[in-house]
Structure 1
Amino acid sequence: MKTSEQHIDRILFTFVVLLMFIGLFVVFSSTIYIAGSKYNSGIYFLGKHFLRVLLGLAIIIFFAVFVDYSKLREYAPHIFIIVLLLLISVLIFGTGEAKRWLQVGPLGFQVSEFAKIGTIIFLSYLLEKNRDRIWDFKFGFLPLFGTVVLVFILVLLQKSFTMAFLIFSVGILLIFIAGAKFKHLALSISGGLPLLVFMFFIEPYRFQRLLAYINFSEAPNDAKHQALQALIGLGTGGLFGIGPGHSRQREFYLPLAYNDYIFSIFGEEYGFIGSLILLFIFFVIFYRGIRIARYVVDDFGRFLAVGITFLIFLTAVVHIGVVSRLLPPTGIPLPFVSYGGSAMIANCIGVGILLNISKQIKH
């Protein structure tokens, strides 16, 4: 019999580590000037990011090797209760202008990043439990849809529209895959559209971003500055890029270049070819995740694998779409590449669970 380590999807693990390795280079390149200017140390951000990468790797290995994913089924209701308590707590005690962060002593974390993993775990548990009656609108479908909407609203109240949208999209996808009637989904989503439109337009900055996206040429410079600088970075890169560490957009032209717009720096330094390679890495991770979901032996593991895989992949698609101006501007980090602790740790938990599932698939 093979050892558990031999069953882990090594291709998935390798490509995730590769992304993290790429992230170290791009974070260093995109922060060297701002770190030297603000902290008198060009490696200030790199040092912090390196520690988070090491912690992320440890978390991946821990969940992949030592945490049996099927045990998460037993704790799923408790995990979801913790998620709800955290989402409510951040609305009351949260720090920052948007109140997305909870501060516990010297440590601060973005609650929604961990809420997305907890929600997928609980929803996978509910889907397995209620799959035989998911066709029933009142007793099967509605509790599932209500769970997704509840988290969506709580995250939306944190002024995190993109994260709320990602959680909602993945939740609806899982419910649909589980066998929900299309008319139930269509009816429920259309019924909630007025609330969504209201929540979107109640914040002026969202409306301004949308207008700037629709009428880019006529938008004020301050409304389109980030999008314009991101496009300049991508365009400057050409076919092969201007070379590692030679980005000009990082020099105070592109705000949050090391986080929400890191793909622009990557495209500038490594060009169109490098960008295609990065996209290929994400597609490989997506393929391996779906493959795991296809061969897993139980519904809970299948829904969990699909949810985690799509969450990571859609986050990457949205980030790249925003930087390329294919989507309206919003703030979302590129998984495993962007600077940031909460997103890195939450995504590593997800990949660790995914790798643990891969140990128990039917070969």
Structure 2
Amino acid sequence: MGIVHKITPRYCDLSLLIPVLGLVIFGVLMIYSASNYNAKIYYDDSFYYAVKQLIGLVLGSVGLLAMYFIDYHWLQKLAWVIFGIAVALLVAVFIPGVSISKLGATRWIGIGSFSLQPSEIAKFALVIFAARIFAGKFKNTVVVKGKDRLPIPKLWQALVVLFGGGVMCGLIILEPNMSITMTVGIIMFVILFLCGVRLKTMGLILLPAVATVAVMLIAAPYRLKRLSAFVDPWANPKCEGFQLIESLYAIANGGFWGVGYGHSVQKNMFLPFSESDFIFAIIAEEFGLIGCLALFAVFGWIVYKIFKIGHNCADFFGRYLCYGIATVIMVQTSLNFAVATGSIPPTGLPLPFISFGGTSLLVFMSAIGVVLNVHKQNKRENLVL
């Protein structure tokens, strides 16, 4: 089996690719709308953020095409290497002269005029690692149609995945980045469930995890302040509660139909991070409830398609891989929506495919390329059979 397969358009799942590209293009437009006022003030260039995102789009497209061309089984062979590289990048964040600090956190690595956020890469490295561990003993097994019940993983497999995820979470929390840490943790548990780990085992694992989160909240006063701002943002409306209040103002201002593209008020120096973590609030303001429902539908369709491709996959690694990628998109999208609407405490999580961030866009588009490769190979194998 060669590393690169011949590309045939009929094998590409356009029902997945087109919605993803639509979200990415929509994201660039929304980033311009959400940031042009602030970018003009701070950088004297209204297109500053939009141009940077376009560069991310180009790199992401290269990543998508590369992963579509390359046989996804190579990810299974290189899973430990990919995991090691991801951990090394997380460690590099703490090396002076290599790392970049912003707003009191050290989460980026400087590469020339660009920056790389290793925690974004870590999420998908964990997916590949988990798929490799759970599919290890079944690497030559073909899933029989009609027998869709997944084999129950061994305890050691779950422990290895937990250890790998724990190492990543430990390094990410030191940046500090509580939001990505919790996201990786949630993704890890959902993957364990989808891969067939028993609920009893999940419960035993969940208890110490919840205790750890509680300790981390108590250990850092600023996290408790964020939690209190979530409970009652009006208790400190000009400090901890400010961002959530402005986000809710934006959503309320949008009403049912929205104020129209480019006419957001809250983006004009009111809502912090309106082009990244809180871009959903600007979407709600400009396109209203009807636009939000349409966005929910597109994300729901993408997640459904990825799960379906995984369900129809002819081998366990491809199936687990798709389940993991769908889980990352589903969890991160849900958390971003929940933060913007005040349903959970504020966290710094980008909205997949839409929020400003080159690393995020690159890894998410590359992940879609992997899913398209799984679909392509299984469709071709079904035709051969």
1:240 matched to 2:257 = yes
- 1:242-321 correspondence runs (5 A): 242-321=259-338
Residue 178 of structure 2 is matched in structure 1 by 161
Residue 80 of structure 2 is matched in structure 1 by 77
Contact preservation (8 Å) 1:231, 1:264: yes
1:25 matched to 2:42 = no
1:48-100: CA deviation from partner (whole Å, max 9, x where unpaired): 22222122122212211x11111111111111111111112213343212111
2: CA distance, partners of 1:40 / 1:147? 44
1:341 matched to 2:348 = no
SS in 1 for 2:116: strand
2: CA distance, partners of 1:230 / 1:140? 42
Q: What's the TM-score, normalizing by structure 2?
A: 0.89
Greater displacement, 260-269 / 139-148: 139-148
Contact preservation (8 Å) 2:232, 2:241: no
Aligned length: 360
Match of 2:16 among 12, 17, 24: 12
Contact preservation (8 Å) 2:235, 2:241: no
- Structure 1 residue 220 displacement after superposition: 4.5
Distance verdict in 2 for CA 1:191–1:286, change over 3 Å: same
Residue 67 of structure 1 is matched in structure 2 by 70
1:330 matched to 2:329 = no
Greater displacement, 333-342 / 166-175: 166-175
Match of 2:127 among 100, 103, 120: 120
Distance verdict in 2 for CA 1:49–1:177, change over 3 Å: closer
SS in 2 for 1:101: strand
- Structure 1 residue 181 displacement after superposition: 2.2
Contact preservation (8 Å) 1:260, 1:333: yes
Residue 51 of structure 2 is matched in structure 1 by 47
1: CA distance, partners of 2:344 / 2:186? 16
AA matched with 1:335:
P
- Structure 1 residue 219 displacement after superposition: 3.6
Contact preservation (8 Å) 2:134, 2:157: no
2: CA distance, partners of 1:61 / 1:140? 32
Contact preservation (8 Å) 2:90, 2:119: yes
Q: Which runs of 5+ in 2 are unaligned?
A: 1-5, 139-149
Contact preservation (8 Å) 2:133, 2:157: no
2: CA distance, partners of 1:288 / 1:215? 38
SS in 1 for 2:78: helix
2: CA distance, partners of 1:130 / 1:215? 50
1: CA distance, partners of 2:130 / 2:153? 16
1: CA distance, partners of 2:105 / 2:49? 23
AA matched with 1:36:
K
AA matched with 1:42:
S
2: CA distance, partners of 1:141 / 1:30? 42
2: CA distance, partners of 1:122 / 1:244? 41
- Structure 1 residue 350 displacement after superposition: 1.0
- Structure 1 residue 203 displacement after superposition: 1.9
- Structure 1 residue 130 displacement after superposition: 5.3
AA matched with 1:276:
L
1:282-328: CA deviation from partner (whole Å, max 9, x where unpaired): 00101111111110111111111011111012111111110111111
Q: Which runs of 5+ in 1 are unaligned?
A: none
AA matched with 1:71:
W
1: CA distance, partners of 2:317 / 2:154? 20
1:197 matched to 2:201 = no
SS in 1 for 2:110: strand
After superposition, the CA RMSD in angstroms is 1.9
1:229-280: CA deviation from partner (whole Å, max 9, x where unpaired): 0111111111111111111111100111000110111111111101111111
2: CA distance, partners of 1:336 / 1:268? 19
1:149-172: CA deviation from partner (whole Å, max 9, x where unpaired): 222222222221221222222222
Distance verdict in 2 for CA 1:3–1:105, change over 3 Å: closer
AA matched with 1:197:
A
Residue 185 of structure 1 is matched in structure 2 by 202
Q: What's the TM-score, normalizing by structure 1?
A: 0.94
2: CA distance, partners of 1:297 / 1:82? 28
Contact preservation (8 Å) 1:5, 1:359: no
Contact preservation (8 Å) 1:124, 1:300: yes
1:192-228: CA deviation from partner (whole Å, max 9, x where unpaired): 4333222222222211010111233434431111100
Greater displacement, 191-200 / 79-88: 191-200
1: CA distance, partners of 2:152 / 2:91? 29
1: CA distance, partners of 2:280 / 2:111? 31
Higher helix share: 1
1: CA distance, partners of 2:374 / 2:131? 13
Percent same amino acid among aligned pairs?
A: 29
